[in-house]
Amino acid sequence: MSHPDFLEFGSKLTNLEKTRNFNVFGDYSLDPFRNLIDFHGWRNRKKERLRISVVGTNGKGSVSHFLAGSFSNLGYRTGLYTSPHLFDPKERIRLSPNFDPINEEDLKEISNILFTESSAEELSFLSWFEWFTLGSFVLFEKKDISVQVYEAGLGGRLDATKLSDPDVLVVCAIGEDHKAVLGNTKEAILREKLGIVTERTKTVFALEPEPSLLKILKEFCSEKNLELYLYPSLPEGRSYLDHNQQYVKFIVHRLEEIISKNKIRIERTENAITRPLRRPPGRLEIISDSPMVVFDPAHNPDAIKVTLSSLSSAFPDKRFSIIAGFLPDKEGESMAEKLLDYTKTQKSNLYFLDSKEFKLPEGYGSYSILPEKLSEILKPSGNEDGILVLGSFRLYSYLKT
């Protein structure tokens, strides 16, 4: 018996990443999703597992990738669930050791399980993000994945990945983004993200935040009886990718100690190997060499600042022009100001995409270009300077097609 295609079924579900109608979270509850998966046992652990939730405003994608790669190198069968995707939704679900995007065979396996044990009618209320999260739950247990890394999509308290019941919470840098949903201050945003914790959570790792956030973090962990481990925040001028990789080394070392001390029986199926951690796609990624085009998904003021600061470390002695594309719900003006200051200092060029998809920051009309003009700017010119493209994950597909 044939079952609905996983991606085709998902494409018919409500996709907030496309509609950007985050106002629906005002009435949103995880209860219907929780009731569905618990009725079918779709998040039940078949064996002892280590489930890790990664939250934060910036850096959680790279930290999630580094965590998955590190545990795979230690010999654990590892699953990675991230969002959003850069080019193909299959990128969201990956398995060790290669962490390639999920293949068609595995997608069919997920569909067979879901539509054998349930029906299209019962599943049709799910959102697109819930659908993919459910797919990762089902596949990771079907494949007997010992270490499961879940990157939160939006916030934490109402995020579908909360239903993984994480053993460990990893907190990355907190900044101001999605304020209409998460709160108007970093303090409110942090509280929303900490809401991903469940009764099963025992350990929290965090990049040490500013004092007001650190106070909230310590009080929360004390109240919940959670063990808190802090790692220094990103120093000025260092590549955020290098820093996040060191943060992950710290996390993995401590977790190995905890696993050994508490005699947690997480199955290790292979011998540890020494394999360089692959840099996550789309993070300070070199798209082409002539001219040098670098892509990064920085899309809020704090991320813009960190990415610009990282350039001098990641690409020393390279001067960058910038092409930015901001979605309509972003604070384009504050980000544009930072980018203009940088390009003035570098004596380089600045462009903002202006279209139905990308909103031109107010007051920056003289810097606007249409997306179809990108190819002219990116064509080889013999100029040794680089071009940084940032502002939205959606820009990646413009560079890869």
Q: Tell me the domain boundaries of the chain.
A: 6-261, 285-398
CA distances from 229 to 206, 247, 253, 266 (A): 6, 11, 12, 21
Residue 32: cis peptide before it, omega within 30 degrees of 0 = no
Looking at residue 104, its pLDDT comes to: 97
Q: What kind of architecture, by CATH, is found in domain 6-261?
A: 3-Layer(aba) Sandwich (3.40)
Given a cut of 90, whether residue 401 has pLDDT beyond it is no
Cα dist. 58→31, 53, 63, 115, 174 in Å?
Answer: 28, 14, 10, 36, 7
Secondary structure E strands in 188-278: 203-207, 227-231
Q: Are strands 168-171 and 50-55 parallel, antiparallel or unpaired?
A: parallel
Question: Could you give the CA distance from residue 184 to residue 180 in angstroms, rounded to a whole number?
Answer: 7
Q: Is the pLDDT of residue 375 over 90?
A: no
pLDDT grade, residue 31 (50/70/90)? Answer: very high
- Look up residue 53 and give its two tokens: 């939730």
Cβ neighbours of residue 156 closer than 8 Å, sequence gap 6 or more: 53, 55, 162, 192, 193, 194, 195, 196, 197
pLDDT at residue 108, rounded to an integer: 97
Lowest average pLDDT, out of 122-126, 178-182, 276-280, goes to 178-182
Average the pLDDT over 195-210 and give the result.
97
**Interacting residues of 387 by C-beta distance below 8 A, sequence separation 6+:** 291, 292, 293, 294, 320, 321, 322, 323, 377, 378
Mean pLDDT for the chain?
92
pLDDT digits (tens, 9 = 90+) for 329-353: 778 899 999 999 999 999 999 999 9
pLDDT exceeds 60 at position 394: yes
| DSSP letter, residue 132 | H
- CATH number, domain 285-398: 3.90.190.20
Q: What is the pTM of this model?
A: 0.95
Cβ-contact 71, 52 below 8 angstroms: no
Read off the pLDDT of residues 277-331 as tens digits, 9 standing for 90 and up: 888 999 999 999 888 999 999 999 999 999 999 999 999 989 999 999 998 877 8
Quick check: helix, strand or coil at residue 292?
A: strand
CB 171 within 8 A of CB 49: no
Predicted confidence band of residue 195 (pLDDT cuts 50, 70, 90): very high
Lowest mean pLDDT among 61-75, 82-96, 256-270: 256-270
Q: Cβ(186)–Cβ(176) under 8 Å?
A: yes
Calculate what percentage of the chain has a pLDDT beyond 70: 96
Return the percentage of the chain with pLDDT > 90, whole number.
Answer: 77
Between residues 181 and 343, which one has the greater pLDDT? 343
Determine the pLDDT at residue 304: 94
Measured CA to CA, the distance from residue 338 to residue 316 in angstroms comes to 20
Res 155: pLDDT: 84
For residues 119-134, average pLDDT: 96
Burial class (CB in 10 A: 0-12, 13-18, 19+), 160: buried
Residue 16 has a pLDDT of 73
According to the model, what pLDDT value does residue 384 have?
Answer: 75
What's the token pair of residue 252?
């993995």
Tokens 């013999």 appear where?
382
Average pLDDT (120-127) is 95
